[in-house]
Amino acid sequence: MSQSLIQIKDLTKFYPVKRGILGASKKVVHAVDGVSFDIKAGETLGLVGESGCGKTTCGKLLLKLIEPTLGVIRFDGTEISNLKGDELKKFRRQTGIIFQDVSSSLNPRRTVAQILSAPYMIHQESIKISNDEIADKILNLLDDIGIPRSSVSKLPHELSGGQKQRIGLARALALRPKFVLADEPVSALDMSVRAHILKLMKKMQKETGVAYLFVTHDLSVIRSMCDRVAIMYLGKIVEFVDTCDELFDNPLHPYTKALLSATPIPNPKLSRVRHRIILKGDIPSPIDLPPGCRFYSRCPWRKPECLAQEPQLVDVSKNHRVACYQVG
């Protein structure tokens, strides 16, 4: 079994709410609230939830793009909170990110060659690579992602959406990092292009051994892409499974069941049979969280005791953890 590449413990990120020019900030937005998990080398961990639940914020914390309020993040055995200078630059070299809106992440005035050469130029001194070698690596990257070498002189607006996403993927994997945050990497693509990108990501993972944190709200891509899955709701992990089959065959948290019931099924006969769970009630404010379970206002199976205390993530089987009083 692979060793843990990333370990996070009680990871928390609060954003203060400004209360006027002179008013002190007394309230906070609970973006990420006491999250703990690990990511093994070479695996893909899926982080699933609705928009605004804290998925992307969690990913940015792992990359040290933002600083946590509380908690510990260890990368390859080293705590990253105090990394500075050359140590921070080395950490950056071992990580990457695939952006959700790839079009806005590509400089419109830079050619494909300039975009893909940026990681090498930034770390040129530490990785000891010449300009000629960089040019060769760019051509090899284009071969790997299935884009003609003649595209090196093209600007982003001359590429299709799928080609842009491939360029974003190539840029993230250019330095052969150990870990990449994939933030909704296929949400803006049509189904045929989406399949090609996911297949390419798995191919590159097999060749380089990179680990992914795959952030998405779309459960339809989880089964084919992820090894383990965490379900997130209002800054908390409410369900964690060690196999995708366990998630789809035996969902336990009411929120997970509702998400799965909303996933389209290609077979129309099965679609008519499946029970659709419609969530009612209001989503609580991440500023003024309710007592007890955060899902209480929308839960079809809520009971009064759910308001007494917030449920903790506990083991209900060997490869399944859930935070719900109505389970177990």
Give yes or no: residues 198 and 313 share one domain.
Answer: yes
The CATH number of residue 19's host domain is 3.40.50.300
pLDDT, the chain, mean: 90
Q: Which domain holds residue 160?
A: 109-174
Give yes or no: residues 82 and 190 share one domain.
Answer: yes
**Interacting residues of 43 by C-beta distance below 8 A, sequence separation 6+:** 2, 211, 212, 227, 228
Structure tokens at 88: 């921070």
How does DSSP classify residue 251? -
pLDDT tens-place string over residues 233-265 = 999 999 999 999 899 989 999 999 999 887 766
DSSP character string of 155-206: -GGGS-HHHHHHHHHHHHHTT--SEEEEESTTTTS-HHHHHHHHHHHHHHHH
| Number of domains comprising the chain | 2
Q: What is the pTM of this model?
A: 0.91
Write down which residue in 174, 196, 213 finishes a domain. 174
The pLDDT score that the predictor gives to residue 71 is 96
112 and 167 Cβ atoms separated by less than 8 Å: yes
Write down which residue in 159, 174, 189 finishes a domain. 174
Mean pLDDT on 212-221:
90
Is position 101 within any domain? Answer: no
Higher pLDDT: 120 or 18? It is: 120
Write down which residue in 155, 174, 193 finishes a domain. 174
Q: How confident is the model at residue 122 (pLDDT cuts 50, 70, 90)?
A: very high
